Amino acid sequence: MRIPCPFCGPRDSQEFSFLGQTGLKRPDPNAPDAQKQFHDYVHIRDNKAGLTKELWLHANGCRSWIVVERNTLTHEITGSEFASPLTKEAAQ
């Protein structure tokens, strides 16, 4: 398996470590139902079969956290981008 790092280019998946679904927003700790929101943030996942966006760390490479678009049914990877706008700017 190969993953395209937006900084380094395509690299063997051995260089990356997987975290999970992306697009989760850390809840406002001061919200009245913060505890419930944190519970969902930590535990509730879509677990989609098909096109997913996942967070990976290019751990044995440039150390960027990246978002990889992957189809879990076919393993096809259709794109990747920096998780952080800051990293993206620094990579320009």
Partner 1 sequence: MADLSLSPRSALAPFLHAGHHGAEGKTGVKLREVTACALAELTAFKGQKAALIKSTQNAFGVALPAANKSVSKDGVTFISVSPGKWLVTGEGAAEHDLVERLENAAGSLAAVVNQSDARAVVEISGDKARSALAKGVMIDLDPAAFKTGDAATSFAVQFWITLWQTNDAPTYRLAIFRSMGRDLLHWLESSAAEFGYDIHG
Partner 2 sequence: MKNSNRLASGGLIDRAKPLSFQFDGKTYQGYAGDTLASALLANNVQLVARSFKYHRPRGVLTAGSEEPNALVELRTGARHEPNVRATMAELYEGLNARSQNRWPSLAFDLGAVNSLLSPFFAAGFYYKTFMWPAAFWEKVYEPLIRRAAGLGKPPLSDDPDSYEKAFAHCDLLVIGAGPAGLAAALTAARSGARVILADEGPMLGGRLLSDRRIIGNQSGLDWVKAIEAELGSFPNVRIMPRTTIFGVYDHGVYGALERVNDHVATPPAHEPRQRAYRIYAKRAVLAAGAIERPHVFGNNDRPGVMLGSAMRTYLNRYAVVPTKRVAIFTSSDEGYATAQDLINAGASVQAIIDSRKDATISAPKDVPYFKGAKILRALGNRQVQGVEIELADGSTRILDCDGVAMSNGWNPAVHLTCHQGGRPVWDDKTNAFLPGKLPAGLSVAGAAQGHFSLKDTLTDGFRLGASAVDDLGFKAHAIAAPDTDPESLAHIPLWRVKTSKGKCFVDFQHDVTDTDIELANREGFRSVEHMKRYTTLGMATDQGKTSNISGLAILGEASGRSMAEVGTTIFRPPYTPVALGALAGHHVHKGFRPTRLTPSHQWAEEQGAVFMETGLWLRAQYFPKKKNESWLDAMNREVEITRSKVGVCDVSTLGKIDLQGKDVGTFLDRVYTGTFSTLPVGKVRYGLMMREDGFVQDDGTTARLSENRWLMTTTTAGAGKVMAHLEFCHQVLWPELDIAFTSVTEQWAQYSIAGPHARDVLKKLVDPQHDMSNEAFTYMACGAITICNGIPARLFRISFSGELAYEIGVPNRYGDALIRAIMKAGEEFGITPYGLEALSTMRIEKGHVAGGELNGQTTPRDLGLIKMVSQKKDCIGKHMSERPAMLDADRPIFVGLKPKNPQAKLTGGAHFLDKGAKPSLDNDLGHMMSVAYSPMLKSWIGLGIVKRGRERIGDTIRAVDFVRGTEFEVEICDPVFFDPQGERLRG
Residue 83 within binding range of partner 2, rule CB under 8 A: yes
Site string for Zn ion, 22-61 (x = CB under 5 A): ------------------------------------x--x
CB of 74 to partner 2, least distance (A): 8
Tell me the C-alpha distance between 18 and 85, whole Å: 20
The site partner of 60 among Zn ion, partner 2, partner 1, none (C-beta below 5 to 8 Å per kind) is: partner 1
